[in-house]
Amino acid sequence: MLRKRPSPDYDWGMSSYWQQISDEWRAAAKQLAAWTMKFMVNRTDVWGRYLPKKYRKKIGPSGDMNNAVTAPFRDERGKVLLQVSSLEKHYKTNSFGGVLGLHSISSDHSSRWLGIDVDLHDEDNLSVTPEGNFVAAHGWWQELVKQGLDPLLLDSNGAGGFHLLVVFAEAMDTRSVHQFGHQLVSDYSLRGLDVAPEIFPGAIRAKHYGNWLRLPGRHHSRQHYTRVWNDEPLGEDKWLEGYHAIERILRMRPAPAEALEPLGIIRRRPTVCVDFDGVIHSYRSGWQGETVIADPPIHRCDDAIARLRKGHRVVIHSARCATQAGRDAIWEWLAKHGIEVDDVCEHKPPAKIYLDDRGIQFSGDWDQAIADIYAFRR
């Protein structure tokens, strides 16, 4: 039998109940951190972090609170990486400033999970209620169950905010994950919501890390730990807390690709990382600075890259990519010449194939380069 939750006006600050819940999350921190790294971390070079209350400020004309930042600091990105120990600290924390979130898109545009955030944006808006949000979130949870998945319905803040989470057994193509989530919640107005819930992953945008979702555990501003909807038909309590919530998270069944592909969620395309100068840009004039791209494309590279992108993600990494100005110059040059790629990367990304002077060497012939890439796949 689960413990009885105190009434809403209970003094949580002095609560032994609160302390017990906190202790149970702390005790399971190592297991939760290992599970999170295995199934939820899409990238380790950036993550979300909530600020301690003393550093939170109102920003912009709207006066919104700046509660969180993208970590690490910009100068440390690519050098300081997210570790299991960082995740363990998140699950152990009892302070607002130690709470983390994870980005929903990897550097090669794949995603390990789908998240839906049904938020209570304005508590003074009487047309949006915790009860209404729950009905919508629970309805989508039921739809996911009907499709053979093992979703978690999470009470994320104890005040009418809910998260839905589906974890995958392997990374899947981000665009297809987003499209599935978008279709799932497209009936939000019929379910009584004024605004569509946020989907994780969001739509892919150039020069953007993508959105991130707070991890289960301690809330960043409320006296609340994540509760999990009890899917046992004979369960006495509708919501699982503490150890019981943790146990349900850890026994969640990641969805295999074979179950996801009939739903339209497809496996990711392998990444090909391409050098810029001498491979796409003809580079006849030599180096004139990271923002000066003086020459035309190599003959037929636009057609070749378009063909390659049908089965691969094509990203560019170059010495020019060390600065934002250099990356912007590449994007502008590509747009000028009608060449489309999936990303221009600040750091050299993990890729199946590198087309440069160290991987598959580019001889000046794009037809031969594509033949070499497909031969490498076999």
Domains of the chain: 12-263 (3.90.920.20), 271-377 (3.40.50)
Q: In the block, which residue shows the tokens 């130690």?
A: 98
* Residue 2 confidence (pLDDT): 47
Instruction: Report the alpha-carbon distance of residue 334 to residue 373 in Å, rounded.
Output: 22
Q: What is the per-residue DSSP string for 205-248?
A: -TT----EEEPSSB-SSSS-B-EEE---TT-S-SEE-HHHHHHH
pLDDT at site 344:
93
In angstroms, the Cα distances linking 208 to 50, 153, 253 are 19, 28, 30
pTM (two decimals): 0.74
Amino acid at position 9, single letter:
D
Closest CA to 176 of 212, 201, 145, 213: 201
23-53: pLDDT as tens digits: 999 999 999 999 999 999 999 999 999 988 7
Alpha-carbon span 192 to 176, nearest angstrom:
26
Q: Amino acid identity, residue 350?
A: P
Q: Tens digit of pLDDT for each residue in 298-341?
A: 999 999 999 999 888 899 999 999 999 999 999 999 999 999 99
pLDDT by residue (tens digit) across 99-135?
Answer: 999 999 998 789 999 999 998 755 556 567 999 999 9
Nearest Cα residue to 135 out of 69, 89, 197, 216: 197
**At 66, which helix (H) or strand (E)?**
strand 64-66
With a cut of 50, list the residues of the chain below it in pLDDT. Answer: 1-2, 14, 377-378
Tally Cβ neighbours within 10 Å of residue 83.
12
**Cα-atom radius of gyration of the chain, to the nearest Å?**
23
DSSP string, 268-283: PPPEEEE-SBTTTB--
Between CA 70 and CA 14 the distance in angstroms is: 33
Please name the amino acid found at residue 104.
Answer: S
* Cα separation, 294 vs 281, whole angstroms: 9
Integer Cα distance of 242 and 155 in angstroms: 12
Residue 377: the pLDDT is 41
From CA 13, how far away is CA 18, in angstroms rounded? Answer: 8
pLDDT at residue number 65: 61
* Cβ-contact 362, 356 below 8 angstroms: yes
Q: For residue 369, give both structure tokens.
A: 């380069």
Question: For position 314, what pLDDT does the model report?
Answer: 93
How many whole angstroms separate alpha carbon 280 and alpha carbon 300?
Answer: 9
Evaluate whether 58 touches 64 at the Cβ level (below 8 Å): yes
d(CA 118, CA 148): 22
